Chains A and B, each alone.
Chain A
Amino acid sequence: MSAFEPPPLADEVELAAPPALVPGAMAHSRPYVAAPAHNQALGFPGERVPDWERRAVEKLGELLERSRALRVFLDSCVKCGACADKCHFFIGTGDPNNMPVARQDLLRALYRRHFTVAGRMLGRHVGARDMDEALLQEWYTYFHQCTQCRRCSVFCPFGIDTAEISMAAREIMDAIGLGQKYSNEIIGKVHKIGNNLGLPEPALANTLEGLEEDVLEQSGAAVKFPLDVHGADVLLVTPSADFFAEPHVDGLIGYAKVFHQAGISWTLSSHASEAANFALFIGSYEQMHKIAQRIRQAAIDLGVKRIVFGECGHAWRVAYAFLNTLAGPWDFLDPAYPVPQHIVEVTHELIRRGGIVLDRDTNAGKTVTFHDSCNVARASRMGDAPGGQFVLPREVIKAAVPSFVDMHPDTTHDRTFCCGGGGGLLTDDLLELRIKGARPRMQALKEVVEQQGVTHMAAICAICKTQFAKVLPAYGFPMEMVVSLHQLVGQAIRLG
């Protein structure tokens, strides 16, 4: 029932072969435009401002003064094309505007025209363009075909990160009143209700009570899902999808069982009932800051000692790399623990020192592979050593299941392919793009399914889980193949 049926996956894994160019292949793919109310809730103009061309240039100028990365990245590209065939959207669509360099050039065109001598003098010969309706439409189309996964930045000889460029472009579009419905509507809900879903406190409490009943029924253990408990040690901040969707909720049950068995007192917060911070996707520091403040407030109000994040990729980027700057200092928390921690760090440490015991046989019959989420892999860390974000999740999975297999090394660790749904693109209006963008991951998955009998793919990101549940069937795999990492832990953990 998908809107788009992808051609079957290749029999051979051809990760190296770049696709043939199909100009304009994805020119029709555009997300819904935000309604005025969605934009105004974030302080953006509701609709296109009258002198939007001038305002766009002015906003670009402001951003250049606020970010060295943007300036250096716009100045440094040599068009070597090393990034071109690294993007899952280019590989999946063949649209040349989905080459990271070409995507960057859409913003660089305006930058060169207004902020460089060469661009003012030589115009199109050095890729400079004026802001006009055509350019803006290309921006809206192709800056919403970037999941900000940073894979291109791994391979760029100058470290140019297209994510930074697409964030800047989206910020400019918001400033002139051209917002994306999916992201802006959701950010508004976080400001108003506290989470992406718009799940009010009574509904959250009811859902958690239901989970307590379920776990008691299935395992006989009185595992609690505490909400707004003052004086708990740990504040768990997790994506609201963990309360709502499958297989996310099985991950939440896994976290609860880990805390229960380890005897760690913990609580969720109805004020900060969301780990996700979609403001990252629209590039807005102010919005990101505002959302992050909810977590600070919840930590203060509940008097917790530690903050732990659940399985959410971009949230862990914001948490690990930005939260200290956005909402720190955390001097009121227990200095014995890093702030914040990832649930995988907590579980890994408990397994290591015997605080919890996992029984692999409970996952008999499963051969599991692991999808490195882009934001965890290329924008964060776990544990004490560089690369811990690759090691810790794998060690936890290996402790929980009888058989673990890695996918092709060109598609794991910092070379992992995005699921195709990150960066604010996990919306039904972009389904064709999402299915096409998932192709490189699906291709690598097919290889380990056929050659090594992989039955499940574990993920540690709410977006990845939802995206895979949607696109796996399009490629002939069962939707149940994607599991939460802590779903495996929750299955294997010995309670009591």
Chain B
Amino acid sequence: MSAIAAILLVLATAMLAAGLAYRLALWLAAPVPLSIPTMPAPLTRGGAAMRVGREMLLFHSLFRADKPLWAASMAFHLGLALVLLRHLRYVVAVPPAWLVAIQPVGRLAGWMMMAGLLFLLARRLLVPRVRMVTRTGDVAVLVLLLAIGTSGLVTTYLLHTDILAVKAFLTSIWRAAPEGLPPDPTFLLHLLLAILLLAIVPFSKLLHAPGLVFSPTRNQPDGSRRYRRPARWARTLAGGGQ
């Protein structure tokens, strides 16, 4: 049992890493032949990086677009980030003080994440224009996240699992014979679904996370009257100016 789980986990992590690396390679191989930031844009590279940062951390454009959606999205993403941070204690041998300190916050974040997800799912199913653009895959990702969250909360509050055993398992997966996976069904479900999530990131819309960093409308500075940027494929065109 432990061995199977370990293999799946390693496999999923490998898929995540390889899939992302492949996707990023495709993105980076393609040039941005023209200057296309959504204006007004910062004038410097540093300013553009700040803009991307503002989008990543504060969801600035989404805030301008739709306040309730922004709130739900923030609740989910921030909740998820805190929950993941909390999970560090299952792999760090001796948790530092801050990690111990955020454990209650992390538990709260679990509820915040679930509330955000439920709002997103309800919105997707109930708002006609959002429902119109929804495919099975869009609902499936939300359901998967909800299931991971639910099983996590159940193990946290109702059907406790042997955390020390989990920790022993996670720190031993690199050994030939991993050990100690607790046989609690809820926990196993949680682990399995999380593994599935890791594996599908590079093949699904979860690519939006790296996508934001590479989005030319957000990461390009406004400097087109100062800098030229002819792409390699464009330099072969006839005429002056190349």
**Which residues from chain A contact B218 at a C-beta distance below 8 Å?**
158-159
Interface of chain B residues 102 through 121 with chain A (CB within 8 A): none
**Which residues from chain A contact B230 at a C-beta distance below 8 Å?**
325
A321 touches B36 (CB 8 A): yes
A371 close to B (CB within 8 Å)? no
B132 close to A (CB within 8 Å)? yes
A377 to B37, CA, bound (A): 12
B128 touches A66 (CB 8 A): no
A274 close to B (CB within 8 Å)? no
A69 touches B38 (CB 8 A): no
Proximity bits, A321-361, B CB within 8 Å = 1, else 0: 11011111100000000111000000000000000000000
B64 touches A155 (CB 8 A): yes
Proximity bits, B45-61, A CB within 8 Å = 1, else 0: 00000000001000101
B197 → A minimal CB distance (Å): 14
Choose the segment among A38-46, A286-294, A438-446, A456-464 that binds chain B (4+ C-beta atoms closer than 8 Å): A286-294
Q: Considering only CB atoms, which chain B residue lies closest to A384 in the complex?
A: B43
Interface centre among B39, B59, B226 (most CB of A within 10 A): B39
Knowing A329-B228, A387-B40 are in contact, say whether A68-B135 is a contact too (CB < 8 A). Answer: no
B203 touches A117 (CB 8 A): yes
B38 touches A153 (CB 8 A): yes
**Which residues from chain A contact B233 at a C-beta distance below 8 Å?**
66
A217 to B132, CA, bound (A): 61
A117 to B18, CA, bound (A): 14
B132 touches A73 (CB 8 A): no
A378 close to B (CB within 8 Å)? yes
A320 touches B61 (CB 8 A): no
Tell me which of A76, A289, A378, A389 contacts B237 (CB under 8 A).
A289
Tell me which of B28, B31, B33, B215 contacts A76 (CB under 8 A).
B215
A82 to B208, CA, bound (A): 14
A389 to B73, CA, bound (A): 32
A17 to B194, CA, bound (A): 39
Tell me which of A21, A68, A155, A339 contacts B214 (CB under 8 A).
A68
A67 touches B138 (CB 8 A): no
**Which residues from chain A contact B231 at a C-beta distance below 8 Å?**
66
A279 close to B (CB within 8 Å)? no
A99 touches B38 (CB 8 A): no
Interface of chain A residues 51 through 103 with chain B (CB within 8 A): 64-73, 75-86, 96, 99, 101-102
Choose the segment among A121-129, A131-139, A400-408, A485-493 that binds chain B (4+ C-beta atoms closer than 8 Å): A121-129
A297 to B238, CA, bound (A): 13
A79 touches B40 (CB 8 A): no
A72 to B38, CA, bound (A): 15
* 22 A-B residue pairings within 8 Å (CB atoms): A65-B30, A67-B30, A68-B27, A76-B212, A78-B205, A79-B134, A102-B132, A102-B133, A124-B135, A153-B217, A157-B59, A157-B73, A159-B218, A289-B234, A292-B241, A324-B227, A328-B241, A329-B228, A329-B241, A379-B38, A379-B39, A390-B40
**Chain A contact residues, CB within 8 Å of chain B:** 18, 20-21, 64-73, 75-86, 96, 99, 101-102, 105, 116-118, 122, 124-127, 150, 153-161, 164, 285-286, 289-290, 292-293, 296-297, 300, 320-322, 324-329, 338-340, 377-381, 386-387, 389-390, 414
Task: Give 3 nearest A-B pairs by CB, closest first.
Answer: A76-B211, A155-B65, A159-B217
Apart from A70-B30, A117-B203, A122-B137: 13 A-B pairs, beta carbons within 8 A: A66-B30, A72-B216, A79-B135, A96-B129, A99-B129, A99-B132, A118-B203, A126-B137, A159-B55, A161-B38, A285-B33, A285-B234, A414-B39
